[in-house]
Amino acid sequence: MNAAVRLQPQTTPARGTRRRRWLPGPQQAPMAASVTVLVAMSVAGGLLFPGFLSPQVFLNLLVDNAVMCVVAVGMSFVILSGGIDLSVGALVALTTVVSAVLVEHHGWSPWLVMPLVLALGIGFGIFMGLLIQCFGLPPFVVTLGGMFLARGLAYVISVDSVSITQPTYEAVAQWRLPLGGGVSLSAGAVIALLTVAAGMLLARATAFGRAVYAIGGSEGSAYLMGLRVGSVRVRVYALSGFCSALGGIVLTFYMLSGYSLHAQGMELDAIAAVVIGGTLLTGGQGSIAGTFVGVLILGLIQTLIVFDGSLSSWWTKIALGVLLFAFCLLQRLIVRSRDGQESVS
């Protein structure tokens, strides 16, 4: 018995294993990189500009980017499932125009208009999801058509900007949530935080969220697992439409107007925020928390340029392009590492 025990192979951990446990793995690397970029930019801003690290400056990142945050949550689910949605910015604009016209020109109650435009966003997403699923059309083409359709409808309803003077909208626009110390959050920022929290819960703690990850990782495997791939895909685009319409409502609170030119290019900014936040464009890997960090990074770039005062706003796009190149390269390295590990195993 003792000899048998002595002959058993010793499974002592290799030298340095304990140290490597503290390093992020391939799946956590994009999120870790995003957080590192956010912290580095914050520290650099604090060293370069007095008052940059004040609490209200960082809260303003969320106040000024609340619409982007809400829209990016919906975009995250679409990309996690392996799809894409180019219609989100146009749907935001359509929501603002419909809301402003119904409230100002037709005297509708805001409490009737807001559920109506949310239903409009959900229906728009379901329509695109059905086209993608039932007819096998590429998501890029379908959502591109959705972008043209929504933006065109916004132009047909009203070419000019429609100001909102309705008391409820004005009251919500002026409302602030005091956090102590003279800092506060707007209603739009609170809605954005609640949307992020709900998105995190939906992605990680529900069967729907797990199905989205499974479909993005391998649609064929998802079918073999018995998942209702078609139903999940349609619901993903419905969720994206809902988030776009909700973002449009938040934008009406922020701008107190409806305009067909609102949110131009927001779909590309939302995709950039999702990618910078660590979600793979191929789907199956990423997090809503990472997307939130990506939105903060985009807002921080704009804030740094404003504090500098000597740089053109176009430097925001340049910095964003550089970050996208870097994170796309990181994603490629992660995919290669993952494929190599799978081939070895």
**What was the pLDDT predicted at 322?**
86
Provide the CATH number for the domain around residue 305. Answer: 1.10.3470
- Is 3 among the domain residues? no
What range does the domain containing 150 cover? 31-44+53-334
For residues 160 and 247, give the distance between their C-alpha atoms in angstroms, rounded to a whole number. 20
Residue 317 belongs to a domain:
yes
| pLDDT, position 9 | 44
In a domain, 21, yes or no: no
Within-domain flag for 19: no
Q: How many CA atoms lie within 13 A of 233 on its CB side?
A: 27
pLDDT in tens, 171-210: 999 999 999 888 999 999 999 999 999 999 999 999 999 9
Look at residue 10 and tell me if it is in a domain. no
For the chain (length 345 residues), average pLDDT per consecutive 10? 44 46 59 88 91 90 96 97 97 98 96 97 98 96 97 96 96 94 93 98 96 94 92 97 98 97 95 92 91 94 86 79 83 68 58
Total domains in the chain come to: 1
Asked if 275 and 324 count as a contact pair (C-beta separation under 8 A), the reply is yes
Residue 81 located in a structural domain: yes
DSSP character string of 274-311: HHHTT--TTSS---HHHHHHHHHHHHHHHHHHHHH-SS
Structural domain contains residue 104: yes
7 assigned to some structural domain: no
Percentage of residues in the chain having pLDDT higher than 90: 69
32-50 pLDDT tens trace = 888 998 999 899 999 989 8
DSSP assignment string, 65-98: THHHHHHHHHHHHHHHTT-----HHHHHHHHHHH
